[in-house]
Amino acid sequence: MHASKRKKLESRGWKVGSARDFLDLNAAEEAYIALRLKLAEGLRIRRANTRLSQTELAKTVKSSQSRIAKMEAGDASVSLDLLVKSLLALGASHKDLAQMIK
């Protein structure tokens, strides 16, 4: 957030903070969420770049289209295991995964 916008909000009585503050997360929880979101974004980008539909990817990883949509949205109900498995199914290497979470 730009400093000017933050100052304007605070002058009107708003409390401005981060998601960590709002959700009362510790550093490990915040890092875990960031990791999940980076992998989810990587999955969405890689799937789009390979021109696969969510349905086609779902068939490849023996899941459902709705599950793929949840993975790409960073839904907490999706395991990291399934996210990584799906990325590997799209041809991501260990190096690619490391780059995503860097």
pLDDT for 40 beyond 90: yes
Backbone angles phi, psi at 18, to 5 degrees: -100, 170
pTM: 0.79
∠ CA 58-39-74, rounded to 5°: 70
Residues 6+ apart with CB under 8 A from 94: none
Q: How far apart are alpha carbons 84 and 26 in whole angstroms?
A: 24
Quote the pLDDT of residue 53: 97
Res 1 pLDDT > 80: no
What was the pLDDT predicted at 63?
94
Residue 13 gets the label, from left (phi > 0), alpha (psi -120 to 50) or beta, of left
Q: How far apart are CA 60 and CA 6, in angstroms?
A: 46
DSSP, residue by residue, 57-87: HHHHTT--HHHHHHHHHT-TTS-HHHHHHHH
Range 18-101 has CATH code 1.10.260.40: yes
- The pLDDT tens digits of the residues spanning 63-93 come to 999 999 999 999 999 999 999 999 999 999 9
pLDDT score at 82? 94
